[in-house]
Structure 1
Amino acid sequence: MNAYPFTLIKKETDILHTPTLLVIGGIHGNEPGSYFATALLSQYYTIKKGNLWIVPDLNQLSIQNNSRGVNGDLNRKFAEIDPRDPDYSIVKDIQTIIREPQVGLILNLHDGHGFYRKEYQNTIFNPNAWGQTCVIDQNTLDDTHPFGNLNEIASKVRHRLNGNLIENYHLFDVRNTNTRFDDEAMKHSLTYFAVTHNKPAFAIETSKNLPTLHHKVFYQLQAIEGYMKIMGIEFESSLELNPDIIEKILQNHGSLTINNNLYLNLKDLKNSLSFIPLQSKQNDFEFSHPLGSVRRNQQHYDLFIGNQKISTLIPSYYPKEKCSDLITVLIDGKYEQMTFAKDFFATADFKIVNHDPNTRVNIIGFTKKGAKDESNVRITLKDLDSKYAIDTFRKSYRIEFYRQNCFCGMVLVHFK
């Protein structure tokens, strides 16, 4: 279990002899390019040499609320923070990680306003804009460090980015805040905290004025790859850096397992699901997506992928019963066995084979007059009431198992 108030994903090959790149997304909850880029980095990249640590959701509550910071600007709390501040544990824990000896370089990802230009053009293109910049706090570190020439490294990444622009006006530049002498506010930032501890640190700022999320993620991932190559980190990616491909992948929200006995495929999930069998006191939500999170809101549960609310679960509370979780299903004439919290696909029909007289099967959306147990019945898509489907295409349905008044578990059927 992760002991931090955020997620830390480690991809390591040699922690003793090669440096680690620490990539942080979500310090500001209304900058989705940052945290969706780190999500794809954790899902689609394999490290072959070197080490990569990823924090995709540093400020999870602010991400859910699509807010810069529900408790104030988290990126202005690194010089000092009151122990009573709700963000205290976040700041102290990430500071500890930054100071880890093996961490050799830190990237803090952002989406910033406008497009940075050294000379004023208009309110979008000007020297006060942050978008499309590789940000450094100073030119070099005070101590000799293999990655201590911050300006040179940022310039190399800028050159890489500008060689593969979607549009020419997306041009990147290096922005040096000269924090120690010129920027009092930035003295409280995460990157300046790192620099003062002799850790090379950079911010990547894609523009909030880019037209789509996948544009931002495209540039963020390009920049991260540039820093990995500079550090000698070798990697393989199953993701082609193409904006159109990234757009499709961002629509994949993965799946959710609850209490290890209930499974939901989050693809095309309806925006509200009722009578979900949960426990009254404590429920364990496990998302396959690194940005998956849940927020209890009075009598229901809101499911999020990053700042996107996927669905709301309206529960029915049941005690959990320990039942045999081995299920036999006849799918299109072929027998298969599975356990709770799984799904299967049927083309023509399916039948739940149940030999346990103490277990009751409830196929949500199917009704057979006089039948309390809906096992051992052949079911086609036409037999199901579409209003009970869990997906917007009305092809996915819940199959629930009960023993007396206790909930055992659930599987999903998807009709092709």
Structure 2
Amino acid sequence: MRLFLGVLVFINVVFALEFSVKENGKSLDDNNTVLILGGIQGDEPGGFHAASLLLSDYNITKGKIIVAPNLAFESIIARNRGNFGDLNRKFAHIDESDPDFHTIERIKKLILDPEVNMVVNLHDGSGFYRPHYESKDKNPNRWGNTSIIDQSEVNSTKYADLESIAKEAVENINKALVKEEHQYHLKNTKTQESNDKEMLKALTYFVVSNHKAAFANEASKNLPTHLRVYYHLLAVEYYLKKANIEFSRTFDLTPNGVYRAIEKPLEVRLFNDKILLYLDQPANTISYMPFPVNQSLNYEASNEITAVIPRTNFFSVNYGNRLQTRIYPEYFEFSNALDTVELIVDGKNIQTNFAQKITVKESFEVPPIVGVRVNVIGFDKGMDESGIKISKNQMQSRYSLDKKRKIYRVEFYELKNANLEDQILARTHASKEIKDAKIPVNAIEKAKQKDKFIGMILVEFQ
């Protein structure tokens, strides 16, 4: 769960996104855990998408991996190399005053975990590396489609022969190339021997300096994201097998399989499972989304590279460095009056929790609930829309959450007054008084005048 501190009213909110760390599998007695890192530079989507899939779509059946897919998360959202400079050039020394100090210390702690003996860092590099000059995009100064090591051997108890292991990784990848020009090569930077001042500051050199095996896999920035991810996963799977780690995945390791895995719908659950955003070709904006007053933003997403970001008067939902939608909130007091609700879907009664998506073929109906009103966004038949059979042709498509015009919100509110007629009159009278007096009312005061929001479900018409 991600948390942002601050009252959710129309103000500028300063946010900080820390990178996430998740484990997949169980540790073996031989300390064979592999640490996989992505997103150390925010403009390299192949690396952070590949690392994210290792958590969302892989099941480690023997051994264990630790994955931090979004090391420079704020830079990923901003689509830049680093908000405060290149994070991958701060491992030799960093001042405590540097905004990245805490992040670097967290990364170092992961690397130095005694359980970890191999580290794989995923990057996207320019062009295609070639040992000899072929063209401006294929030459020794390019980094794309390479397996990178800092030295031929490392003084470690496991995986000491870095060069042999990296060569095997290259051979493994080259058996599954999409095009011959994508050919992988080994690149040994000989960091200490050549006194490479930049590489001496990098993460992988910090790893080998601490007597552990480190490999960087670079996928070419000349390739579309899904092909970069494809090559990254070919490399990672080789390294996992080298560490005797076994796994299964939910997709075929092919370019098309990877594309579908990356592009599958996103799910974001807000405010302790009150609200579900199901993002499948989402609308550009979502207006009047219920948000709580005096409560910190919290959410859970279906992957580790999705974030909900507070802006000046809206919230952006980002998937990696791609904006998905903007949420313009309406503020309410929240209620826990109900945990579940009943629906009649295509003639069948079902019970559901909030923050769920219900598939509807023909029609749905919400039976009346004492003290509760139902608001079907896009239906517009009155204050309370319970007890009405609703089909897709009755919905106003502009209120859908998706560009396919299939998904709609059904919201539940605890009535401020028990009698609905009194409730309507009170709301109308209050609105007229405010309008006539031209009294500005802030978000909290407005929320106190409204019914309390209980929760939301989504209906998706087939």
Cα deviations by residue, 1:124-168 (Å, 9 ceiling, x for unpaired): 111110001100011101x24220111111000001011111100
Q: Which amino acid aligns with 2:339?
A: D
Contact 2:2 2:300 in 1 (8 A): no
Equivalent residue for 1:132? 145
Q: Give the C-alpha shift of residue 13 in structure 1.
A: 2.2
Partners of 1:147 and 1:58 in 2: CA distance:
25
Q: CA RMSD in A?
A: 1.4
For 2:383, the aligned partner's letter is: K
Query: What residue in structure 2 maps to residue 192 of structure 1?
Result: 205
Output aligned runs, 1:47-58, within 5 Å.
47-58=60-71
Provide the C-alpha distance between the structure 1 equivalents of 2:129 and 2:397, rounded to a whole number of angstroms. Answer: 51
Match of 1:153 in 2: 165
Question: For the residues of structure 2 that align with 1:365 and 1:144, how far apart are their CA atoms?
Answer: 63
CA distance in 2 between partners of 1:76 and 1:280 (Å): 41
Deviation at 1:253, TM superposition (A): 3.6
Deviations 1:99-128 (A, max 9, x none): 000001001100000111111112111111
1:95-244 mapped onto 2 (5 Å cutoff): 95-141=108-154, 143-182=155-194, 183-210=196-223, 212-244=224-256
- Alpha-carbon contact 2:25-2:59 (below 8 Å) kept: no
Match of 2:261? 249
SS of the residue aligned with 1:27? coil
Shift of 1:15: 4.1
Alpha carbons 1:18, 1:51 under 8 Å: kept = no
Matched residue SS, 1:179:
coil
- The one of 299, 312, 326 aligned to 2:340: 326
For residues 221-241 of structure 1, give each alpha carbon's deviation from its aligned partner in whole angstroms, at most 9, with x where no partner exists: 000001011111111222211
2:395 is equivalent to residue 384 of structure 1? yes
Residues 297-312 of structure 1 aligned to structure 2 (within 5 Å):
297-312=311-326
Letter in 2 for 1:179: T
Task: Give the structure 1 partner of residue 75 of structure 2.
Answer: 62
Structure 1 residue 2, shift from structure 2 partner = 8.1
Q: Distance in 2 between the 1:154 and 1:13 partners?
A: 25
Distance 1:372 1:113 in 2: 57
Change (3 A) 1:83 1:5: same
Deviating 4+ runs (over 4 angstroms): 1-4
- SS at 2:297 equivalent: coil
Structure 2 unaligned regions, length at least 5: 4-16, 417-450
Task: For residue 327 of structure 2, give the secondary structure of its aligned residue in structure 1.
Answer: strand
In 1, the alpha carbon distance for the partners of 2:2 and 2:92 equals: 25
Opposite residue 62 of structure 1, the aligned amino acid is: S
* Counterpart AA for 1:36: H
The 2-side partners of 1:95 and 1:295 are apart by 27
Give the secondary structure class of the aligned counterpart of 2:66. strand
CA distance in 2, matches of 1:193, 1:266: 39
TM-score normalised by L of structure 1: 0.96
2:398/2:405 contact within 8 Å kept: yes
CA contact 1:16–1:102 (8 Å) conserved in 2:
no
Partner of 1:402: 413
Work out whether residues 31 and 114 of structure 2, in 8 Å CA contact, stay in contact via their aligned partners in 1.
Answer: no
Deviations 1:350-400 (A, max 9, x none): 0011232x11111101122xx321101110111111111111011111001
SS in 2 for 1:139: coil
CA distance in 2: counterparts of 1:195 and 1:41, whole angstroms: 24
* Aligned residue number for residue 431 of structure 2: none
Alignment gaps of 5+ in structure 1: none
Distance 1:323 1:288 in 2: 27
Rounded Cα–Cα distance in structure 2 between residues aligned with 1:390 and 1:48: 37
Native 8 Å contact 1:25 1:110 kept in 2: yes
Query: What is the CA–CA distance in structure 2 between the aligned matches of 1:415 and 1:88, rounded to whole Å?
Result: 49
Per the normalisation by structure 2, the TM-score is 0.87
The answer to whether the aligner puts 1:367 opposite 2:380 as a matched pair is yes
Give the partner amino acid of 2:353: T
Query: Do residues 41 (structure 1) and 72 (structure 2) align?
Result: no
Structure with more contact order per residue of length (Cα contacts < 8 Å, sep ≥ 6): 2
1:352 counterpart (362, 366, 377): 366
Q: Does the 8 A contact of 1:253 with 1:305 survive in 2? A: no
CA contact (8 A) 2:156 2:212 kept: no
Q: Which amino acid aligns with 1:283?
A: L
- Report the equivalent of 1:393: 404
Q: Using the TM superposition, name which of 280-289 and 182-191 deviates more.
A: 280-289
Query: Following TM superposition, by how much is the alpha carbon of 1:78 offset from its aligned partner in structure 2, in angstroms?
Result: 0.7
Contact 1:327/1:353, CA 8 A, preserved across alignment: no
Alignment deviations for residues 237-267 of structure 1 (CA, whole Å, 9 cap, x no partner)? 2221110121122111420111020111011
Distance 2:340 2:126 in 1: 54
2-side partners of 1:144 and 1:385: how far apart?
A: 65
**Cα distance in 2 for residues equivalent to 1:253 and 1:139:** 43
Higher gyration radius (CA)? 2
